[in-house]
Amino acid sequence: MSASAPTLRSLAKQLGLSRTTVSDALRGSPRVDPNTAARVKKAAREAGYRRNPLAGALMSELRRSRGGAFRGVIAAVDFNEPDRPETSSRYHRELVLGADTRATELGFKVEKFSVGHAGVSVQRLDSILQSRGIHGVILLPAWEEPDLSNLDWSRFAGIYTDYIIERPALHSVCPDHYRSLLAALQRLAALGYRSPGLFVKRHQDERLQFRWGAAFRAFQEHHPEIRAIPPLVEETITRDNFSKWFKRHKPDVVIGHNTDVIEWMEGCGAKLPETHGFFCLNLHMKARPCAGLDLQPRMLGARATELLIAQLQRNETGIPEWPSTTTIPAHWAEGPTVRPAAPA
């Protein structure tokens, strides 16, 4: 019969120390003499001991709640970025709501933290999470390339709710932008649109590794019945550059994020949906009713929570060796800016 798994009690007995000292040493508490802490960590490694983050979270939460029912805590970390579009806040709220709803069903709760400009520093966040016994972290989408490499990831499991994070490279959950736009273009073609036009801010496509532009060009290439129109890709989409593009290339349906272009299209003589159509790439960014893609942020938040809790239950903390990406297709939402489908 194989030896039983090492425990705090067995390590303490082996080292001639109290369980509290061993526990504090493994948590990195400054109360433990550095030489003693090094001896404890060496013995733990040699014995194959691994801390269970849920057990620590249990004791922390029980102390805070004075013996009430245990609910594990997950941190939802948002990046406070001055350059991020204001419309992103609605999408982030839906992500957190989906995460919190699913977490509650699984016996956890979500607490939101903000880092960066007007928020806490990454180092301070690390200290807060460790002192609270929080080991699960959901990172909300960042407008610029995020950097949380200063967190002690040996103590945390993390999920990023966007495409790519490199510092550190974590598992991620995000919409399937490429597949979703292809499906939308096919449906728009079925409605009779033959000259679709895409407009997108350069940074919005770059941060998704050019998936919007790639899907649009692939659809044009493989559908000869569709008139090829070059996408409008600019640092900023303005009335001037949009109107020039619209008048020159004459798309019959326009696809993009900013619903302000509906007014610009009408200023160029378009009547929606009689003569032209507009389709929004993210309905959580719309400023007026329209057809478009619901990227399903609540479902994304729920799925991220499920994957994160599964990591915690398997005692998997740290940066994964092989980060994976889970994608969820967006949902087509009807609206008054595209012509209705013909009756069956």
Cα angle 166, 172, 176 (rounded to 5 degrees) comes to: 115
- Residue pair 108/73 in contact (Cβ under 8 Å)? The answer is yes
Amino acid at 301: G
Q: Please give the single-letter amino acid code of residue 288.
A: R
β-bridge partners, 109: 73
Domains of the chain, first to last: 72-175+298-328 (3.40.50.2300), 177-295 (3.40.50.2300)
CA-CA distance, 320 to 76, in Å (whole number)?
19
Distance, in Å, from the CA atom of 26 to the CA atom of 308, rounded to the nearest integer, reads 23
Q: Looking at residue 62, what is its pLDDT?
A: 47
Tens-level pLDDT at each residue, the chain (344 residues): 345 667 778 877 888 888 778 777 776 777 788 888 888 788 878 877 766 555 555 455 445 555 455 568 999 999 999 888 888 899 999 999 999 999 999 999 999 999 988 789 999 999 999 999 999 999 999 999 999 999 999 999 999 999 989 999 999 999 999 999 999 999 999 999 999 999 999 999 999 999 999 999 999 999 999 999 999 999 999 999 999 999 999 999 999 999 999 999 999 999 999 999 999 999 999 999 999 999 999 999 999 999 999 999 888 999 999 999 999 999 999 999 999 887 65
Which residues share a beta bridge with 293? Answer: 332
The reported pTM is 0.81
**Cα→Cα distances 43→8, 155, 316, Å:** 11, 18, 20
